[in-house]
C-alpha cells in the first residue's frame, strides 16, 4: 500500500461554453472513467478482493479488513450541513469536491464514503445524490439507479419477513398444536429433525431436547406457537418508490384470508430496519445476529417476537450476503468512492455504512482522509452519526465540515419560501446582506451543535453564481465568530477539486489538532431523558410532549429490556423544530412525540416527531417527467 498518493488522477475534462450550463449527466458522460479493476489496483486491492459489476463498479470483499488489520487508520471527516431548503445545499457535492482536492490536487490519499440514493427522491423532487457539476461520482446514472442491487436485496428481505409474520398468525389460528408442530417439523424419508434455527428456538425456550418426538404436549405448544398480538406488529412492508397511497391500507382481504385482515402500511425501502442493520454492521456474522434479533411484534404476554423466533434469520442473511460488501466507484477526477447503504436521515439514522468507512480508513493509511456524509442538517444526520454510528463503530471523528449556502441562509433570514420546480424569487438572485446576516443564526446554531461533541468545525460555503463577494465574506466572518475553526468559499461545482483546495487545507489543519470527541448522552439514561436531551440541547426545544401511544411504547420497550439503546429521532429536516415552516432558530417550542418504535437489530429506539411519515409522496410534477431513454444509443436522459 502506497500511502503517499495512491492513485493516478484523471484529468478533468471541461465541456466547452454553452448557451446553458451543461447538465450533471452531460458532464458525467463527457468524462471517461478508468476501468474499475485499474482503480482497485491503484488503491491497493488484490484481484481476489473485488467482484466486478460491469466496467465501472465493483464490490469489495470483507476479507480485506483481515489483511489490513494492522494498518493504522487515516483521519475521519464528516460532512454535515445547515438546515436545508427543499433543494438541498450540496453536501454530497462538497464531499466529492473535497476528496478530489485532497487526492488529485494535494496528493493526499482520500476516500469518499457516500450513501446509495433511493429511487424515491430520484424520481420524485430531489433527484439523485451523486454530487453535481464537476464534483460527481461517475457514471452518475449507475450511481443513482440500481447500482449493484443492494436496495432490491433489502426490499426482498424485508418483505419476506413481513410475509412470514402474517402467514404465521394465519396458520396458528387455523391449526391445532399437533398439526402445526407436524408441519413445522415434518418427517422427511421417515426421519424427523429440527433445523438449526429451530434448535436455537428450543434453547431460547429452555427446552433441552433435540429429538422431535421427545417433546411433551406443553413443550410442543410452547415451541409451535408464537401467539403474536396483531395489534403490536411494527414490521411494515417496503417499496423503493414514493407512493403516498400505501401509507395506510388493509391487507388480507382475499377470500382465502377472510377473517384475518388488518390495517397495515408500506414504508419506503430505505426506512427498513434492514437498511439500518446493513449500515451499522461490521461483519457477516454480526449482520446475521442483528437480523435475528429484530423485533417485529409482541406476543399476547407482552414479550418481544423476533425474526429469529419466526425462523427466517438464515434466509434474510442469504438475501443480504452480497449487499454487505461495499460498492467501489470513482469521482470525475478518478479518486475512489465507496457507495454503501442509504438510510434517510429524517426517518432513519442517515449515514453510509460502518464497513465502508472502516475499509476506507485502512486503505488511505495513517496520513490519509476518509470523508463521509450525513444526511440533511447537522441537527439530524450529524447528531445520529455521532450518537449512533460512532457508538456502534468505535470510530472517532477528527473534524466536521459544515456545508452552508447563501440561498439557505437567506431563507432562514426571512426570505420567501423555496419550492422545488419554482423559480427563485429575486431575494435569492440579488445581493441582500441583511437577509444573509439574519439567516446566519441557523449556521451559528449548527456550529454550536457540532461543538457539543468536541469536534472542530470547518464551514464550507457552497458558492452559487448569484452570490456576491460581500455575502460570501459576511458568511465566512460570522461563521468564524460563532466558533468555526475556519470558513472557506468552495467552487467545486464549477471547477472540480481545484475549487476546494483551500477547504482541503483547512480540513487537514483542523484534523491535525486532535479531537476531543464525546457523546451527547449516556445510553443508560431512561428513554424519555435521552429524547429530552436531544430535543433541548440539539433542537432548542423547551420540552417534549409524549402522546399516550408514545408513552405506552416507551413503557413496553423498557419492560422488554431495550431501554439502554441510543435514540434515532424521526423528524422533519426542514426546520430545527417539528414544524417545517419554522425557519432560522425556533425557540420555546414543545416537541411532540407521536409514536415510538424500536429497531432492536439496528440498535436504537426510534421516536416519531409530530406527523412524520415513513413513506414520502410524489409532487405534482415529479422528476420522472424529464427522464427518458434514447433507444438508439441506450443512453439515459434527464437524470440529475
Report how far residue 602's alpha carbon sits from residue 158's, in angstroms, rounded to the nearest whole number: 14
- Residue-wise pLDDT for 374-388, tens only, equals 999 999 999 999 999
Grid cell at residue 14: 471541461
Interval 433-440 mean pLDDT:
98
The widest CA-to-CA distance across the chain, in whole angstroms, is 85
- Residue-wise pLDDT for 267-277, tens only, equals 999 999 999 99
Report how far residue 422's alpha carbon sits from residue 559's, in angstroms, rounded to the nearest whole number: 50
For residue 6, the model assigns a pLDDT of 63
- ∠318-320-326 over CA atoms, to 5°? 135
What DSSP line would sit under 182-237, residue for residue? Answer: HHHS-EETTEE---HHHHHHHHHHT-----GGG--HHHHHHHH---B-GGG----E
Interval 590-605 mean pLDDT:
96
- Residue-wise pLDDT for 96-137, tens only, equals 999 999 999 999 999 999 999 998 888 887 778 889 999 999
For 392, the 3-state DSSP assignment is helix
Beta strands 604-609 and 237-239, pairing class: unpaired
For 449, the 3-state DSSP assignment is helix
- Residue-wise pLDDT for 538-586, tens only, equals 999 999 999 999 999 999 999 999 999 999 999 999 999 999 999 999 9
CA distances from 264 to 158, 350, 441, 608, 611 (A): 14, 25, 42, 17, 17
Grid cell at residue 409: 441562509
Instruction: Tally Cβ neighbours within 10 Å of residue 29.
Output: 17
Instruction: Indicate if the pLDDT at residue 490 is higher than 80.
Output: yes
Nearest to 234 by CA among 301, 292, 287, 158: 158
For residue 129, the model assigns a pLDDT of 85
β partners of residue 58: 52, 328
Interval 326-330 mean pLDDT:
99
Nearest to 230 by CA among 255, 206, 257, 270: 257
For residue 610, the model assigns a pLDDT of 87
Report how far residue 71's alpha carbon sits from residue 625's, in angstroms, rounded to the nearest whole number: 49
For residue 3, the model assigns a pLDDT of 42
Lowest mean pLDDT among 125-139, 196-210, 236-250: 125-139
For residue 4, the model assigns a pLDDT of 41
pTM for the full predicted model: 0.94
β partners of residue 182: none
Lowest mean pLDDT among 220-224, 515-519, 634-638: 634-638
CA distances from 439 to 229, 432, 466, 529 (A): 50, 11, 17, 31
Rounded to the nearest integer, the mean pLDDT of the chain is 95
For residue 623, the model assigns a pLDDT of 83
Q: With the C-alpha atoms ordered 471, 473, 476, 480, is the resulting torsion angle positive or negative?
A: negative
Grid cell at residue 254: 382475499
For 587, the 3-state DSSP assignment is coil
Interval 254-275 mean pLDDT:
93
- ∠411-421-98 over CA atoms, to 5°? 65
Instruction: Indicate if the pLDDT at residue 17 is higher than 60.
Output: no
For residue 18, the model assigns a pLDDT of 56
Nearest to 619 by CA among 103, 262, 89, 86: 86
More reliable by pLDDT, 622 or 400: 400
Report how far residue 490's alpha carbon sits from residue 461's, in angstroms, rounded to the nearest whole number: 6
Instruction: Indicate if the pLDDT at residue 514 is higher than 90.
Output: no
Instruction: Indicate if the pLDDT at residue 15 is higher than 90.
Output: no
CA distances from 257 to 170, 263, 327, 402 (A): 8, 14, 41, 53
Instruction: Indicate if the pLDDT at residue 395 is higher than 50.
Output: yes
Instruction: Indicate if the pLDDT at residue 1 is higher than 70.
Output: no
Catalytic residues: 91, 93, 115, 126, 345, 376, 464, 493
* Contact (CB, 8 A) for 306 and 294: yes
Amino acid at each position: 500500500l502506497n500511502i503517499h498518493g495512491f492513485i493516478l488522477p484523471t484529468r478533468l475534462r471541461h465541456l466547452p461554453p454553452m448557451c446553458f450550463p451543461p447538465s450533471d449527466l452531460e458532464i458525467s458522460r463527457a468524462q471517461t472513467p478508468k476501468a474499475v479493476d485499474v482503480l482497485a489496483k491503484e488503491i491497493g486491492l488484490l484481484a481476489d478482493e473485488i467482484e466486478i459489476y460491469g466496467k465501472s463498479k465493483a464490490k469489495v470483499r470483507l476479507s480485506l479488513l483481515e489483511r489490513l488489520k494492522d494498518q493504522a487508520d487515516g483521519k475521519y471527516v464528516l460532512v454535515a450541513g445547515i438546515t436545508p431548503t427543499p433543494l438541498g445545499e450540496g453536501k454530497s457535492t462538497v464531499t466529492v469536491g473535497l476528496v478530489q482536492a485532497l487526492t488529485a490536487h494535494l496528493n493526499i490519499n482520500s476516500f469518499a464514503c457516500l450513501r446509495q440514493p433511493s429511487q424515491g427522491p430520484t424520481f420524485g423532487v430531489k433527484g439523485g445524490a451523486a454530487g453535481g457539476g464537476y464534483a460527481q461520482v461517475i457514471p452518475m446514472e449507475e450511481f443513482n439507479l440500481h447500482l449493484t442491487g443492494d436496495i432490491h436485496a433489502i426490499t426482498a428481505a424485508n418483505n419476506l419477513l413481513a410475509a412470514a409474520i402474517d402467514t404465521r398468525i394465519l396458520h396458528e389460528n387455523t391449526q391445532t398444536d399437533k398439526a402445526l408442530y407436524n408441519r413445522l417439523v415434518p418427517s422427511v424419508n421417515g426421519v424427523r429433525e429440527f433445523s438449526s434455527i429451530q434448535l436455537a428456538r428450543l434453547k431460547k425456550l429452555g427446552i433441552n431436547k433435540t429429538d422431535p418426538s421427545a417433546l411433551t404436549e406443553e413443550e410442543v405448544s410452547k415451541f409451535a406457537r408464537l401467539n403474536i398480538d396483531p395489534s403490536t406488529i411494527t414490521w411494515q412492508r417496503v417499496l423503493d418508490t414514493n407512493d403516498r397511497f400505501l401509507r395506510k391500507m388493509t391487507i388480507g382481504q382475499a377470500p382465502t384470508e377472510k377473517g384475518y385482515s388488518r390495517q397495515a402500511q408500506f414504508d419506503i425501502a430505505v426506512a427498513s430496519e434492514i437498511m439500518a442493520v446493513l449500515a451499522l454492521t461490521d461483519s457477516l456474522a454480526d449482520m446475521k445476529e442483528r437480523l435475528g434479533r429484530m423485533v417485529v411484534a409482541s406476543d399476547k404476554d407482552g414479550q418481544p417476537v423476533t425474526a429469529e423466533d419466526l425462523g427466517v434469520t438464515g434466509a434474510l442473511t442469504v438475501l443480504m450476503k452480497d449487499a454487505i460488501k461495499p460498492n467501489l466507484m470513482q469521482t470525475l477526477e478518478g479518486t475512489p468512492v465507496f457507495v454503501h447503504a442509504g438510510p434517510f436521515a429524517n426517518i432513519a439514522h442517515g449515514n453510509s455504512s460502518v464497513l465502508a468507512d472502516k475499509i476506507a480508513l485502512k486503505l488511505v493509511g495513517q496520513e490519509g482522509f476518509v470523508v463521509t456524509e450525513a444526511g440533511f442538517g447537522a441537527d439530524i444526520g450529524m447528531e445520529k452519526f455521532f450518537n449512533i454510528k460512532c457508538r456502534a463503530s468505535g470510530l472517532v471523528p477528527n473534524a466536521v465540515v459544515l456545508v452552508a449556502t447563501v440561498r439557505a441562509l437567506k431563507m432562514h433570514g426571512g426570505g420567501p419560501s423555496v419550492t422545488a420546480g419554482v423559480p427563485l424569487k429575486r431575494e435569492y438572485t440579488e445581493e441582500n446582506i441583511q437577509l444573509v446576516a439574519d439567516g446566519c443564526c441557523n449556521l451559528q446554531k449548527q456550529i454550536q451543535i457540532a461543538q457539543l461533541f468536541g469536534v472542530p468545525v470547518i464551514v464550507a460555503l457552497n458558492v452559487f453564481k448569484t452570490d456576491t463577494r460581500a455575502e460570501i465574506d459576511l458568511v465566512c466572518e460570522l461563521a468564524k465568530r460563532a466558533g468555526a475553526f475556519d470558513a472557506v468559499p468552495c467552487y467545486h461545482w464549477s471547477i472540480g477539486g481545484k475549487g476546494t483546495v483551500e477547504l482541503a487545507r483547512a480540513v487537514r489543519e483542523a484534523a491535525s489538532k486532535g479531537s476531543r470527541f464525546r457523546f451527547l448522552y449516556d445510553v443508560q439514561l431512561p428513554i424519555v431523558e435521552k429524547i429530552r436531551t436531544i430535543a433541548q440541547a440539539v433542537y432548542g426545544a423547551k420540552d417534549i410532549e409524549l402522546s399516550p401511544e408514545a408513552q405506552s411504547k416507551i413503557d413496553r420497550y423498557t419492560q422488554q429490556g431495550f431501554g439502554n439503546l441510543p435514540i434515532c429521532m424521526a423528524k422533519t429536516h426542514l426546520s430545527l423544530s417539528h414544524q417545517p415552516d419554522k425557519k432560522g432558530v425556533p425557540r420555546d417550542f414543545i416537541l411532540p412525540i407521536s409514536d415510538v418504535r424500536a429497531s432492536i437489530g439496528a440498535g436504537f429506539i426510534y421516536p416519531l416527531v409530530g406527523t412524520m411519515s415513513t413513506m414520502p409522496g410524489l409532487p405534482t410534477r415529479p422528476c420522472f417527467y424529464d427522464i427518458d431513454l434514447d433507444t438508439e444509443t441506450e443512453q439515459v436522459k434527464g437524470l440529475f
